[in-house]
Amino acid sequence: MSKKRLNTDPDAGGHFGPYGGMFVPETLMAPLLDLNKAYRAARKDRSFQNELRAYLRDFVGRPTPLYFAERMSREVGGMRVYLKREDLCHTGAHKINNSLGQALLARRMGKQRIIAETGAGQHGVATATVAAMFGMSCVIYMGKVDMERQALNVFRMRSLGAEVVPVTAGQQTLKEAISEAMRDWVTNVRNTHYILGSALGAHPYPRMVRDFQSIIGQETKRQIKRIVGRLPDYLVACVGGGSNSIGLFHPFLNDTRVQMIGVEAGGLGRGMGRHAARFDGGRLGILQGTKTYVLQDRNGQIQLTHSVSAGLDYAAIGPEHCLLRDLKRAEYGRVCDTEAVAAFDALGEWEGILPALETAHAIAYVVREKKRWRKSDIMVINLSGRGDKDVQQVAAWKAQQTNKSGKKGGAS
């Protein structure tokens, strides 16, 4: 008797079990329903899928390599560690897989204006890139704090012809940027498509983004079978909203021997406003259109978050991740700022690869937990982006730590 296959597709209302849904103002219901209808048709349209595959191949540079990290493997106890090189995608991260898919969908719907939010800047760069390629106007909303710590990506977006709008409300990071993008969409819905960058928000975004990012796991499955003759024992990826991780995980859902690990931002430690680990301090709530785990106080007020990584600095997590956790199909850990920066340096020294600070959280988790792994294990880590954008941020962080140490030493 065959085992029942795990199906995590949302229902007609966009619910992943008790999570997800469409919790938005009345003015956004019609555009979301139109988007869902258009996406469902595009999924079944062979010409749309063929065009998407062609652009992924010829413009993005897919398939990305699956690289054996030999020195890192030795450093974590001798198991075989492979890196899925999404950092080698055009624009430097996995984000373009989704931006490209949604831009094609926007063109199909007759929308000529693109808006997006961005935290670390990689989604903004990817969206600005595809908008330029298709001749669409583009506006990117970005928190003022994130603009300062990701100045290189702000310059890249503007060089690609996008207007980058600083958001000065609240914490001035990703959550506020999403809110501003949603306000724009409500006002300009007739000619505008909102390319949401992660597997969160109202239906159909969590499923749509997951589907566009699932190319990561599909390629990984084919590549690892060809290289080692079997599936991996572990998949590891960082989790902000959750697009790179769900893209890697989803094609493996029914391969039950493959263990999946998502890594959240532990920031400065436990306590309100000190981290962005939704599964370790959050509770069920609704934020920006979806029901999910949210960092909030007892009165439902959204907490401040913190991470050295702008891309993980968000108060909610994608709803499908909540379901995977409930089903015990995936587990989730956390890594602090100090560990992430150390992993940023370590991978550079071991493999000649500077990872994005987001990815560095996944690297750090594997290093910290090295006693857990057996020498016979095979692991794939999703290297979701490259670290060029984070070099100045890491340098500033190290200088700050040195100043703190100096002050402590002087005081003693």
State how far the Cα of 97 lies from the Cα of 116, in Å rounded to an integer. Answer: 15
58 phi and psi angles, rounded to 5 deg: -90, -25
**Which residues are CB-contacts of 26 (< 8 A; sequence separation ≥ 6)?**
none
Decide the pairing of beta strands 192-194 and 113-118: parallel
Asked if the bond preceding 204 is cis, omega within 30° of 0, the reply is yes
Measure the CA–CA gap between 201 and 24, rounded to whole angstroms: 9
- Which distant-in-sequence residues (6+ apart) come within 8 Å of 410 by Cβ? none
Q: Are the beta carbons of 268 and 274 closer than 8 angstroms?
A: yes
Residues 191 and 111: beta-carbon distance below 8 Å: yes
Active-site residue list: 95, 117, 384
**How far does CA 145 lie from the centroid of its chain?**
19
Q: What is the DSSP secondary-structure string of 123-134?
A: HHHHHHHHHHHH
Residue 101 to residue 213: CA distance in whole angstroms? 9
Q: What is the 3-state secondary structure (H, E, C) of 338-389?
A: HHHHHHHHHHHHHHCCCECHHHHHHHHHHHHCHHHCCCCCEEEEEECEEHHH
| Polymer length of the chain | 412
Q: Is 193 helix (H, G, I), strand (E, B) or coil?
A: strand
CA-based nearest residue to 266, from 368, 342, 335, 316: 335
